[in-house]
Amino acid sequence: MDFAAILVSLALLMIFAYKGYSIILFAPLFAMTASIGSGYEIMPVFSEIYMTKIAEYVKIYFPVFLLGAVFAKIMEEGGMASSVAAAIVRSLGKERAVLSVLLGCGVLTYGGLSVFVVAFVMYPFAAILFREADIPKRLIPATLWMGIFTYAMVALPGTPQIQNIIPTTFFGTSTWAGPMLGLIGGVLYFCFGWAWITYRHRRLALKGEGYGTHSLNEPKPVKDELPHWSVSAIPLAAVILVNIYMSNPFHWNWAYHWDSKSLAALRPLNLTLLSSSVDRIQAIWSLNIALGIGIVCAALIGRKRIAKNGGLIFPVNIGAVSSVSAILNTASGYAFGAVIASLAGFQTVKNALFELRIGNSPLLSEVVTTNIMVAFAGSSSGGITIALGMLGKEWLNWANAVGIQPEVVHRIACLASGGLDTVPHGGALVTLIAVCGLTHKESYYDVFILTLMKVTVGFLGVLIYTTTGLI
């Protein structure tokens, strides 16, 4: 009975999310549904498990969402994001349209812009470029996804996206963890996307299919004068450089060192959600400072254009408000998963997932579990948070016992989180397809094939580490 309730609640959450209902409202309802027959009363599950996990997530990650959203909006309103994207597109030309879009998306994502803002910024360039090159429009969602939501979001070391931040709070690592594994994973993601979309374009061209006739969300060329790309790239570079200086992942003597005793003065206050150590929170502190400096740089560089569009108050307020919705959506998925993981009916599944192994390593268990939770949540950030909240401590203890560094566990979790996040009900995918003015029926085939490819990256990462020892 209890496991049946879990399955029903999971199925309902996926169905409602796919149909566009807010996960903020329905995740707690279905979490309570899952607890039926568990031996727990429904309201304690809601107030003491679900809401506590919401509070934990918001306490840790809200500053990243807030500052990231404000930074992205200022970059967008100041024309700086479009300027960088346009420069990449111009330099490679329509003959390399797919490569241009993949690189443009990656630069903006790695530079710290919100992935959704990157989608809105890059879609017009992709559509115009694909139309000029006569590449079928139905390939745009797959191209944008592989440029935004894969190599630059979860693989490249140092990426400031939330998927790379979440493991730092579980493992005490930095965003630069596992640099070689991250670079290899990034190359795999990039090559899968570039190879498949190029192949599909050639096959469809032989059949006579071109861009096609479309009227929904068709962009017009950008005619407004934009800031020079070299100046526009300064805020992006600032975020990356300040982040590496403040987080000091390579233990340079000249870089910043956080005081390991800085939390000690707060312990007598008995704060409920106080972090256990500076190691668990310093990566987020570093990124917060980097994004803050990026915001100042972007506001100064884009001040004239921003002033013409209503002033700085507009992007600041819009970014701040949008960040609340974004974090509550992710936190709701995390809290739902935390409830499921706490129920007795799920313990058999949890134990089975934990027992998966390759040799005496927790990495296979980590890849499989993360992919499953990402598919359930329809979100890479939600899925990785659920997986780490459920088994992260056990994986870390296991890894320490067999001599595997926490940085490896961090990077493998990130690589796996980019696997099954393209399930049809995924909120980001639904949004991206809508931005492109297309439907699942028109564009999901190529996304599905790439899903089968990119789900292998986590497993390949495990294989590479196991056979070579590269970190």
> pLDDT for 395-406, tens place per residue?
999 999 999 999
pLDDT of residue 424: 82
Rounded Cα–Cα distance for residues 372 and 350 (Å): 11
Torsion angles phi and psi, residue 3, rounded to 5 = -70, -35
- Own/partner long-range contacts of 390-398 (Cβ < 8 Å, ≥24 apart): 390/337, 390/338, 390/341, 390/350, 391/350, 391/353, 391/354, 391/365, 391/366, 392/167, 392/170, 392/171, 393/170, 394/354, 394/362, 395/362, 395/365, 395/366, 396/170, 396/171, 398/361, 398/362
pLDDT of residue 223: 59
Q: Answer yes or no: are the C-beta atoms of 35 and 45 closer than 8 Å.
A: yes
Domain presence at residue 358: yes
Residue 273: name the closest of 433, 58, 45 by CA: 58
pLDDT in tens, 126-136: 998 898 899 99
Torsion angles phi and psi, residue 152, rounded to 5 = -85, -15
Domain span including residue 16 = 2-259+278-468
Domain presence at residue 266: no
Instruction: Report the domain count for the chain.
Output: 1
pLDDT of residue 386: 84
pLDDT of residue 413: 97
Domain presence at residue 98: yes
How distant, in Å, are the alpha carbons of 74, 75, 369 from that of 300? 10, 11, 44
Domain presence at residue 272: no
pLDDT of residue 466: 94
Rounded Cα–Cα distance for residues 236 and 160 (Å): 11
Q: Answer yes or no: are the C-beta atoms of 449 and 196 closer than 8 Å.
A: yes
Please spell the DSSP secondary structure of 323-335, one letter per residue.
HHHHHHHHHHHHH
- Number of residues written out for the chain: 471
pLDDT of residue 108: 94
pTM, two decimal places = 0.86
pLDDT of residue 430: 82
Q: pLDDT tens for the chain, 471 residues: list them.
A: 578 888 888 888 877 876 767 788 988 999 999 988 888 899 999 999 999 999 988 998 899 889 988 998 899 889 898 889 888 888 888 889 999 999 999 999 999 888 888 998 899 889 988 988 999 999 999 999 999 999 999 999 999 999 999 999 899 999 999 999 999 999 999 999 999 999 999 999 999 999 988 877 787 666 577 889 999 999 999 999 999 999 998 889 999 999 989 999 999 998 888 888 888 889 899 999 999 999 999 999 999 999 988 899 999 999 899 888 888 887 887 888 888 888 888 888 888 888 888 778 999 999 999 998 888 777 898 889 889 988 999 999 999 999 999 999 999 999 999 999 998 877 788 888 888 988 888 999 999 999 999 999 999 999 999 999 999
Domain presence at residue 270: no
Domain presence at residue 269: no
